[in-house]
Structure 1
Amino acid sequence: MLNRRTLLAASLATGLAGCSRSAPPDGLLRVATTNLPDSLDPARGEFASAALAYKQLHAGLTEYAADGSVAPGLAESWTFREDGRRWYFHLRDGLTWSDGHPLTAEDVVWSARRLVDPAQSFAQLGDFFAIENARAVLAGEMLPEAMGVAALNERSVEFRLTNPLGLLPVLMREFYPFPRHVIERHGADWVRPENLVTAGAYTLTGESQLHLSMTRNPAYYDAARVAIPAIRLDAVQDAATRVRLFRAGDYDLADQPPANQIGFLRDRLGERFRSFDAPILRYLKLNHARAPLAAAETRRALSGAIDRAFIAGEFFAGTASPTRHVVPVIDPEAGAAGASPALEIGRPLQIRTTPGDNERIALAVADDWQRAGVETEIFVTYATDLYQAVDAGDYDVAVASFNRGLKADPFFMLDPFAPGGFADNFNWQDAEFAGAMARARRETDPAARALAYQQAEARLFEETAIIPLLHERAHWMVSDRVAGTRSDIQPMLWRELSLLPTELE
C-alpha cells in the first residue's frame, strides 16, 4: 500500500518547464481541454466536454448571460400561467439554421419529443421531468406526440407541466433544438462536419479524434456580436502537458491544471492563471447494492475516517474546501478525520478511479481506511471504462466528480443525485429524499424551493448516501491575447470573448 509520503514524493517538475513561444494564428482561439465531446448530438452527449462544446455550437431556448444568469436565447421572451404549470416561449423573428432553413416553433416541439423518445435518442427525462406525459413517452407507454409541448404558431411554444416549475427558463438554457430537416435526411450522421447544421454562434468545420474546428455562424441571431472568427478545440488528456503547451504559447485557454501544481502556477503565471467559484463536487460514489455498503453505519464510519483537510491542502494547494455536504455550507467538522473504531468489512473494498488527481485521492483514502482496518484494491482505468463499470454496478467505491459549469443554483448540485439524475447510479432509493427533491423542483417561490433543497440535502447527509470530499474551484489558464473574460465567471462562453494582437518577445 502506498502511503502519504509516497504521494507527496510525486514530482512537481513535469510540465513546469517553460518553452519558447510561437506566433498564434490571427483570429483563431486555441483551447485545450481534457477530452473532446463523446457526441456532438445533445441527445447523446454525457461528458462535461460535450456541454462545453454545445455552448458554442448550439443555441438554447434561453441562454446564459455574460454574468451566468438567464437571458433570451432563441426565445426572446417567456411567460407562465397557472402558477407555473403552463409556460409560453416566444421565438425571435426570422430565426434560421446555419444552412438558411427557417427555425420555427415546430422544430422546438419536435426536438423536445426527440429527447425523451427511446426510438430517437439516448432518451432521458433530463430537464423535461415535469412535462406532461414525458415519463410515459420515455417508458414507451405513449407516443411522443402525447408529450405536453405544442406549437401555437410559427413563433410560440407551449409547455404543459404536471407540477409547477419555477426554474423552467433556467433549465431551458441547455435545451438545444435540433434541425429536424437534417436529422431526417442523415440520421445519426447529422453531426458529421459535412452535415452538421446548428443555430449557435459557431458551426463545425473539422473533426478528428484530437480536435474540433469551428467557425463563426453568420446565421446566428446575434452574429454581429461574435468577435472571434474561428476556434480550435484540442483534447490534451494529460494535465501537465496542457500546462506545458499553454506556457509555450500553443493555447489561449486551457482548463484543469494538475491539482498539485496550482500553487506554483498561480505564482508563475500571475494574471494568466484564473480561479473561479464553481459548482464542483469531488466525492466517493458508493454501491449500495454491495454488502457491507448497504449499511448506513458502515458508510458513516468510512466517511469519518477520511482526512479531507489533508487532501485539500496537499493536492489542491488549499483552493478546495473539505466538505461532508453536497451543497456548500460552513462545516467546521469537515476537515480532519475522526477517531474511527476498527471496521469489520470482511473483504477488501474495490476503489475504481481514473489517472491523475482522482488516483492520488484514491490512494489517500485507501491510506486512511487502512488505518481504520479496511483493506482496499485500487483499479485505475480511463474515464469511459469507469463510467461503464459504474453503470453496470461493477464497483464498490468510485472516485467521482462533476462540474456544473455556469449553473450556480443549489438545484444543480443536488439534481444529479435525484431519481433520474445523471449521478443516480449507486443503487440508493429513498422516498424522503425523492419527495424533497420533487417539492424543490415544482416550487416557484425561491424561499420554499430553498427549504425543500435543504431538506433533501439533510437526508442525503443523514444517510451518507455518498461521501462528499471537496468543493473545488475551477481553474483556467488564459493567455494575454484573450479579452472579454470576467473575474467571476468561467471563460466558457466564447462568443463573449475577443482576441488582441500579441507581441512576442
Structure 2
Amino acid sequence: MNMRLRQTGMLLASIALAFASGCGPGPQSPDTDAVPAERESPAEIVLRRANGPEPDTLDPQRAEDETSRDIIRDLYEGLVGETASGDLVPGAAESWEVSPDGLAWTFVLRPDGRWSNGDPVVAADFVAGLRRAVDPATANSSASLLAPLDGALEIIAGDRPPDTLGAEALDDRRLVLRLHSPTPYLLGLLTHPVTFPVHGPSLVAHGAQFARPGRQVSNGPYRLDEWVVQSHVQLRRNTYFRERPQIDVVRYYTFDTPEAALNRYRAGELDLTVQFPMARFQWLRENLPDELHTAPALSTQFWLFNTVRAPTDDLRVREALSMAVDRDKITRLVTGLGDHPAYGLVPPGVANYSAQSFPWRDWPMAERVAHARARLAEAGYGPERPLRVEVHYNTDENLRRVAAAVASMWREHLGVETTLYNEEFRVMLNRRKQPDAWQILRLAWRGDYNDASNFLEALSINGAVSDTGFDDPEYERLLAAASAENNPAGRRALLEEAERRMLAAYPILPIYHPVGKILIKPWVTGFAPNVLVRNYSRHLSIDVVQRGH
C-alpha cells in the first residue's frame, strides 16, 4: 500500500477511536426556542456581508485563501480567540501555561465547549485537527505554519507518521503542544484555521467532503446552513455555543467584481463590504465618510516571478522589472486609498521588526530606469529584441488597474511587451502549482499573526508560497536559526538578514502594502479596526430599528 494512503488510513482510524465516545446523540440544545434549520423566523437578525470570490473550501485544514478563512473563523473557534480589536484572549481553551524552557504549552479547554450537534469538544479534537493539517495527504500549503511543533516538518515531508506530532491529549480537557524551540508567536498562530479542531465522526463518515451543508459540524458561534455556488454561503447561530451572538444568521455573498459589491451596498442590500473599486474611493470619502473606515494592516500585494522558467529565470530580468515599477505613482494615482509603496515583503508595523527594502529604494526614478535598462541589455534584451512576459491575475477591477499600470511602466521604461491574463481565483491558484504554466503571477499575503516569520517563511522551500522555485540554503539556514534563537534582538537580526537575502534574489515583485478598508452601514455596531483585518460576525450587532428590519 502507498505509504501516504496507509498513513492517512491510520489517521482516520485513530480519529474514529478517539471520538467513539462522542458519537451519541449528545445533550439537548440549551436554546429551547431555537429556530429549526428548515425554517426562517421573521424575527431573526441577518447580517449581509460581501465576501469576494467564491470560497474554495470551508475545511479548516484545507483552506488556502482569506475568502474561505473569513467564513471558517465564524464557524470554528481555536484554542485562542481574538477581540474585535485583535487582542488575544482565551478561546476554546479557558487557560494555558508554558514550561520554564518554553517548549511545552498545556491548554485547558472550557468545560462547556460543544460542537454544533451537541457533542462535547475534547482535547483529542484539537490533536486530530493538528495531525490532519500536517498529514501530506491533506496537501495544505499552510501546514508549514505548524513548523514550531515537534516533528511537523518531518511529517509534512512524509518522513514520520502524523501521530508522532508534538500534540497530545492528556485527558478530555487538557492537551499539550511540544515545540522544538521557543515560539513567541504561538498564541497568535493558534487563531489560524489550520490549527482548528476536527469533528472526528463527521470526518470518518464523509472524508474530505465533510465541509458541506448538512454534514459540517463546527464548534464556533455559527454553523453552516447553506451554500449556493456563485451566490452566497449562509451561516446560522450554533445554539450550543456558550455565548449567544446578537446576529442569528450571517450571509456571505460572492462577488467577482468590487463594483458589483458596491452597487449592492449602496442599494442597502449589504451591511458591510471590504470590496469596492479603487476609482470610487474619493467619492466614498466625500459622500459616505461615516461609513468608510481605513486603518493600518499587515498585508502585502506582490507578484511572483517563476524563477525556473524563461525569461524570469534570469536574475537580471527580475531585477530590471522590479526597478522599473514606480510604486509611489501606483499608490498615489492608481490605488489612491492611502496604501504604502512596497519595497520588501514584510510590511511596516510588524512587532519587533524593521521592514527591509531593496537597496535602490531611494534612488531617483530616472536612475532606477537607467540601471534597469542596463540589466536587461546584459540579459540580451533591447529595442531589437524586446522582452515579452505574461502576467496572470485573478478577476478584479482593482487588480486589473494595477496590472495595467505596471505593464504600462514596463513598456514606457524598458520597452517590455506584456500580455495580461485575468482568470477566476481558483483557476489562478491551480495555475500557480504548475511551473510550466506561468511566468509572473499576482498574489497577496495578509498576516496570519503579528510576526515577521509569518511572511518570510511563506517563501521557504516548505512554505505556503514555495511556487516561485526560489530555493536558497542560506535563506533556509537563517530562518531555522531565527526559529531556534531565544534572544529577541538576535532573532530579529536573523529575520532581517533573511529578508535582505531573499530580496537580492528577486523571487517576488512587491508593489504595495494595502491599508485595511471597509464600508459599514451606520446600523452595524461593534466594529473595531485591527492590523490583521479580521471582522468576526460574533462581535457585531445590528440596530434593527435603524435598519428597518
Establish whether TM, by shorter chain, passes 0.5: yes
Give 1:254 deviation, angstroms.
0.8
Give 1:144 deviation, angstroms.
2.0
> Is the 1:323–1:335 Cα contact (8 Å) retained in structure 2?
no
297, 307, 312: which is aligned to 1:278?
297
Q: Which residue matches 2:32?
A: none
Q: 1:119 to 1:349 in 2, by over 3 A?
A: closer
Query: Runs of 4 or more off by more than 6 Å in structure 1?
Result: none
* TM-score calculated relative to the size of structure 2: 0.82
Moved more, 391-400 or 373-382: 373-382
Q: Which residue matches 1:159?
A: 177
Q: Which amino acid aligns with 1:497?
A: L
- Matching of residue 449 in structure 1 with residue 491 in structure 2: yes
202, 205, 223: which is aligned to 2:222?
202
Q: Which amino acid aligns with 2:369?
A: A
Q: Which residue matches 2:392?
A: 352
Q: Deviations over 1:18-70 (max 9, x none)?
A: xxxxxx98611110121232111111211211110111001111112332122
Give 1:501 deviation, angstroms.
2.8
CA distance in 2, matches of 1:446, 1:334: 32
- Matching of residue 133 in structure 1 with residue 151 in structure 2: yes
Q: 1:124 to 1:47 in 2, by over 3 A?
A: closer
310, 313, 323: which is aligned to 2:329?
310
Q: Which residue matches 1:4?
A: none
405, 424, 427: which is aligned to 1:385?
427
Give 1:75 deviation, angstroms.
1.2
Q: Which residue matches 1:79?
A: 97
Q: Which amino acid aligns with 1:189?
A: Q
Q: Which residue matches 1:333?
A: 362
> Is the 1:196–1:204 Cα contact (8 Å) retained in structure 2?
yes
Q: 1:79 to 1:350 in 2, by over 3 A?
A: same
Q: Which amino acid aligns with 1:186?
A: H
Q: Which residue matches 1:98?
A: 116
> Is the 1:124–1:138 Cα contact (8 Å) retained in structure 2?
no
Q: Which amino acid aligns with 1:464?
A: Y
Q: Which amino acid aligns with 1:216?
A: R
Q: Which residue matches 1:231?
A: 250
CA distance in 2, matches of 1:455, 1:400: 23
> Is the 2:390–2:421 Cα contact (8 Å) retained in structure 1?
yes
* TM-score calculated relative to the size of structure 1: 0.88
Q: Which residue matches 2:339?
A: 320
Give 1:465 deviation, angstroms.
2.6
Give 1:121 deviation, angstroms.
5.9
Q: Which residue matches 1:193?
A: 213
Q: SS where residue 467 of structure 2 aligns?
A: coil
Q: 1:135 to 1:412 in 2, by over 3 A?
A: closer
Q: 1:196 to 1:477 in 2, by over 3 A?
A: same
Give 1:400 deviation, angstroms.
2.1
Give 1:435 deviation, angstroms.
2.1
How do 1:58-77 residues align onto structure 2 when only pairs under 5 Å count?
A: 58-77=76-95
Q: Which amino acid aligns with 1:246?
A: Y
Give 1:81 deviation, angstroms.
2.2
- Matching of residue 183 in structure 1 with residue 203 in structure 2: yes
Give 1:76 deviation, angstroms.
1.5
Q: SS where residue 173 of structure 1 aligns?
A: coil
CA distance in 2, matches of 1:286, 1:382: 20
CA distance in 2, matches of 1:27, 1:40: 23
Aligned pair count? Answer: 479
CA distance in 2, matches of 1:69, 1:47: 23
CA distance in 2, matches of 1:466, 1:318: 23
How do 1:107-118 residues align onto structure 2 when only pairs under 5 Å count?
A: 107-118=125-136
> Is the 1:55–1:492 Cα contact (8 Å) retained in structure 2?
no
Q: Which residue matches 1:214?
A: 235
Give 1:325 deviation, angstroms.
1.2
Q: CA RMSD in A?
A: 2.4
> Is the 1:31–1:233 Cα contact (8 Å) retained in structure 2?
yes
Q: Which residue matches 2:69?
A: 51
Q: 1:468 to 1:274 in 2, by over 3 A?
A: same
Q: Which amino acid aligns with 1:381?
A: E
Q: Which amino acid aligns with 1:408?
A: N
CA distance in 2, matches of 1:324, 1:334: 12
Q: Deviations over 1:311-349 (max 9, x none)?
A: 111221151111211123497628956233252345411
Give 1:373 deviation, angstroms.
2.8
Task: Name the % identity.
Answer: 27
> Is the 2:53–2:425 Cα contact (8 Å) retained in structure 1?
no
476, 480, 484: which is aligned to 2:518?
476
CA distance in 1, matches of 2:363, 2:241: 47
Give 1:476 deviation, angstroms.
0.9
- Matching of residue 463 in structure 1 with residue 508 in structure 2: no
CA distance in 2, matches of 1:420, 1:250: 42
Unaligned runs of 5+ in 2: 1-41, 349-354
- Matching of residue 368 in structure 1 with residue 387 in structure 2: no
> Is the 1:416–1:423 Cα contact (8 Å) retained in structure 2?
yes
> Is the 2:304–2:440 Cα contact (8 Å) retained in structure 1?
yes
Q: 1:86 to 1:450 in 2, by over 3 A?
A: same
> Is the 1:309–1:322 Cα contact (8 Å) retained in structure 2?
yes
Q: 1:468 to 1:314 in 2, by over 3 A?
A: same
Moved more, 379-388 or 424-433: 379-388
CA distance in 2, matches of 1:300, 1:122: 31
Unaligned runs of 5+ in 1: 1-23
